[in-house]
Structure formats: C-alpha cells, structure tokens
C-alpha cells in the first residue's frame, strides 16, 4: 500500500487562500447567529461571563447524606435552580409579595462530608443592588431577596421534614478578576505582541511580523467565538488559556517563516507562491506532530475533569483545545497565504514604479537633447532675428514671410534650371564622343 509523503506532495496552499480566508468568516457568522439566539430568543446573555468577572451572591443548602446519591443530588440542584431563576412560581412560599426576576445560577458545588454535606449555590443578580439583595441589617428594613429565596428553598425541599436540612444566606462574593487586573493583563498581552513584532521584524522582516501578529489576533478571536457558540463560562482560566495559545501559536508561525527564508536563499528566482507552498510542505509533519501531541494531552485532561467534576479545569481545557486548532490553521494556511499575497502585491507595485521611472527618464533625456540642439545656435543670430521680428508690424511680418517663401521658391526654380542645362550639356558631350 502506497503511503502519503508530505515531502514530495504538491502543496497548493496559496492557490486556495480564498477558502482559508472564508472559514473564519463562517465561524464568525455562526457565532453571530448563536449570540442572537442566546440574547434575543432566549432572553439571556450573549457571553456566559463567570463570577470571576462579575461577582455575585451565594447561599448554602445543607442536606446531608442524601447528596451521596447522584440521582437525589441532581433533583436538589434542579429544584434550587428553578426557584432562583423562576421565583415568580414560588411567591406563595415567600413572606413578602416583592417581585423578583433576572437572577441566574452560575455554579452549584458540593462541600463537606457525611451529615454535614451541603450545596453551595452561586448566582448573579445584575438588576439589583447589594442593599436589595442582602439587606441593611436593620430590624425595620425590608426583607432581603436572598432571605426570601432561602425561605422558598427551605419550604420546598424540607416541607415534609423541616429539621432535615437548612438554608443559610451568604454575603456578596466579590469578583476575583478585578478591573485593574484585567487592564494589567491586556497591557501585558499588548506589550508581548509588540515585542514579538519587533523580534520577527529584526529576525526576518517587518512583513513577516505583521502577518504573525494578524494570525495571533485571529486565534484570540476564534477562541472567543468558540466560547460564544457553545456558551461556555468565561472565567479567569479563559485568560490563562489565551496567554498560553499566544505563545504556542507564534512558535509554529516562526518555524514556517524560518523555512521560507531558507528557501528564498536556495531559490532566489522562484515565485513567492511556490516558495510558500514548499515551505508549508517541508514543515507540515512537524506542525501536525507537535499540535496533535498537545491536543491529545489537553483532551485527556478535559476528560478527567468531566469524570471527576472539576469545572474550573474544564473551562481551561475547552478554550485551549479551540486555540490549538485555530493556531494550527492560522500558522499553516493563513500565514503563508498572506505572506505570499502581500509579497506578490509589493513586487507588482515595485515593477510599475520602475516602468514609470524609466519612462520619465527617457522623456527627460529627449527634452535635454532638444534643449541642447537649440542652445547650439549663435546667440547673436537668435537675438537679431527676434529683434527684427519684434520691430515689424504683423502685416509686415506676414509680407516678409511671403517674400521669404517666394525667394525660396525662386531659388528652387533657378537650381532646377541650372540642373537641366547641365544635363543638356552632358548629353551633347556624349553625342560628340560617339561621333
């Protein structure tokens, strides 16, 4: 059986660049549709922003050994989620007729062991202030929303056995990712991108650095669109995944540009499209092996996080997998295609400028030749003729021109008569010689 050999394959990467440029646009359209569904149809959020960025509120439901049974735990979680997200269905269990809406559960996790086992529920309330949610602590103040939710949960879950469990309200959970931290992270990423651009521009060329920077931005956008399409929670681990992919993707891109530089030295007369295709072919095996090895490792970690219920690890691995695929795609297909396309455009523009320069130089040389020809005439003759012409009236100048033309005509006639007489004398001489 004949095996496929990348080193002898005829790669046509640059020729299919329109296809490679279309794929990210398709992903963008899918993300826009998904965002419209989440935001407009389902009346939710376009991006699933985690509490690491937004902060929120928490309450603890102590249940006990029933949480050891996965089926019962699932029932408890579904009931708690329904009470918090749809409190209008449980107004009859609350001691206040206050209307509550817009709450969203972000995370439910188990904590403790045995009889002390409980569920910690974290949720967000973007439409309410801290005072409305947790109260002021004064006796005559209005009952807080968290107290009303705890009352509804307690009466729903422990209606038959009031002392079998308890619900404890919690305070506001602050965002672990503050605004200052986000700004600092963005500044760090921008600075790292600028240093990468400078390094690649010095090591290779400025065009290669710009192309590599575009590919990195592409990878970040694709990872963000992936989180939007599948509505995965964007937590602090997502920022870590972004930074990881920035370093990983640039490595593959630099390898290809290094091979392009070597091929230009070996084949200086070869076209840019051909050089890019050969360079991709020479590095394809290496790119596939490194990306596949990392992909399998991250996929195994994601599988283990699902099995053992480690949610934070899963929210790190999923965007990392999307970033690995996007980085492989941009490094192997988009980067060489952009490089060859811009190189060809610059070469054509340079050729046009050369043609224009040559044409302008030829015109200038002809003008200089004419100027030198007229400059060779005696200055006195030019001045005399110009003074005489200025002294004459327009009629006299016209008569003079006519006389000049007549004189020239008469001279031509005289010269023709002389030539005829000479010809006749020659004929007579020939006749005498013959006689």
Which pLDDT tens digit goes with each residue over 120-166? 898 988 888 888 888 776 665 667 889 899 999 999 988 877 777 88
Place of tokens 């949720």: 123
The contacts of residue 205 (CB under 8 Å, 6+ apart) are: none
pLDDT of residue 365: 65
Give yes or no for a contact between 282 and 259, defined as CB atoms under 8 angstroms apart.
Answer: yes
pLDDT of residue 354: 67
Supply 30's token pair.
């899918």
For residue 49, give the DSSP letter: B
pLDDT of residue 433: 47
**CA-wise closest residue to 38 among 139, 30, 142:** 30
pLDDT of residue 176: 65
Give yes or no for a contact between 51 and 120, defined as CB atoms under 8 angstroms apart.
Answer: no
pLDDT of residue 303: 94
Place of tokens 């503050």: 178
**CA distance linking residue 272 with residue 256, whole number of Å:** 14
pLDDT of residue 203: 87
The neighbour count for residue 302, using CB atoms within 10 Å, is 19
For residue 42, give the DSSP letter: S
Q: Could you state, in order of their start, the residue ranges of all structural domains in the chain? A: 8-46+178-353, 56-173
pLDDT of residue 141: 60
**CA distance linking residue 279 with residue 254, whole number of Å:** 12
Supply 6's token pair.
């990348």
Cα dihedral sign, 201-205-207-212: negative
Which architecture, in CATH terms, is 56-173? 2-Layer Sandwich (3.30)
Give yes or no for a contact between 242 and 321, defined as CB atoms under 8 angstroms apart.
Answer: no
- Whole-model pTM? 0.71
Which CATH number fits the domain 8-46+178-353, given the four candidates 1.10.132.20, 1.20.1640.10, 3.40.50.12160, 3.40.50.2300?
1.20.1640.10
The contacts of residue 73 (CB under 8 Å, 6+ apart) are: 66, 67, 110, 119
**CA distance linking residue 321 with residue 387, whole number of Å:** 91
**CA-wise closest residue to 275 among 347, 196, 193:** 347
**CA distance linking residue 89 with residue 73, whole number of Å:** 22
Q: What separation in angstroms does the CA of 169 have from each of 73, 166, 352, 372?
A: 20, 10, 75, 101
**CA distance linking residue 404 with residue 396, whole number of Å:** 12
Residue spans of beta strands (DSSP E) within 4-151 = 56-62, 104-111, 118-124
Beta pairing partners, 220 = none
Residues of the chain under the 50 pLDDT cut: 1, 380-398, 400-412, 414-415, 422, 429, 432-435
The 10s digit of each residue's pLDDT in 211-247 is 999 999 999 999 999 999 999 988 888 988 998 998 8
């Amino acid at each position: 059986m004949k095996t496929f050999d990348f080193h002898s394959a005829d790669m046509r990467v640059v020729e299919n660049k329109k296809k490679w440029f279309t794929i990210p646009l398709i992903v963008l359209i899918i993300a826009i549709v998904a965002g419209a569904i989440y935001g407009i149809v389902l009346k939710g959020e376009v991006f699933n922003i985690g509490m690491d960025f937004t902060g929120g509120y928490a309450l603890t439901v102590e249940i006990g050994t029933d949480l050891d049974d996965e089926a019962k735990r699932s029932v408890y979680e579904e009931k708690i989620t329904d009470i918090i997200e749809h409190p209008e269905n449980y107004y009859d269990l609350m001691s206040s007729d206050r209307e509550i809406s817009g709450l969203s559960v972000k995370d439910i996790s188990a904590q403790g062991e045995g009889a002390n086992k409980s569920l910690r529920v974290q949720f967000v309330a973007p439409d309410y202030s801290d005072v409305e949610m947790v109260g002021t602590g004064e006796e005559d103040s209005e009952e807080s929303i968290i107290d009303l939710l705890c009352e509804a949960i307690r009466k729903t879950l422990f209606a038959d056995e009031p002392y079998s469990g308890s619900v404890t309200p919690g305070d506001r959970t602050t965002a672990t990712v503050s605004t200052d931290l986000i700004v600092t992270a963005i500044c760090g990423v921008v600075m790292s991108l600028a240093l990468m651009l400078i390094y690649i521009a010095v090591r290779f060329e400025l065009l290669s650095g710009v192309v590599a920077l575009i590919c990195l931005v592409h990878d970040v956008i694709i990872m963000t669109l992936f989180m939007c399409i599948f509505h995965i929670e964007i937590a602090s681990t997502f920022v870590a995944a972004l930074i990881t992919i920035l370093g990983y993707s640039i490595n593959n891109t630099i390898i290809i540009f290094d091979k392009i530089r070597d091929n230009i030295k070996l084949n200086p007369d070869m076209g840019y499209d051909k050089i890019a295709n050969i360079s991709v072919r020479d590095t394809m095996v290496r790119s596939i092996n490194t990306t596949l090895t990392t992909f399998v490792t991250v996929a195994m970690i994601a599988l283990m996080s699902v099995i053992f219920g480690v949610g934070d690890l899963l929210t790190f691995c999923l965007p990392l997998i999307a970033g690995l695929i996007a980085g492989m795609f941009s490094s192997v297909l988009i980067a060489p295609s952009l490089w060859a396309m811009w190189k060809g455009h610059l070469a054509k523009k340079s050729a046009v400028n050369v043609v224009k320069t040559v044409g302008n130089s030829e015109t200038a040389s002809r003008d200089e030749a004419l100027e030198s020809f007229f400059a060779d005439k005696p200055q006195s003759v030019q001045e005399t003729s110009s003074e005489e012409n200025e002294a004459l009236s327009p009629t006299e100048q016209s008569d003079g021109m006519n006389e000049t033309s007549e004189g020239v005509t008469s001279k031509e006639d005289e010269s023709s008569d002389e030539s005829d007489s000479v010809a006749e004398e020659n004929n007579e001489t020939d006749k005498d010689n013959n006689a």
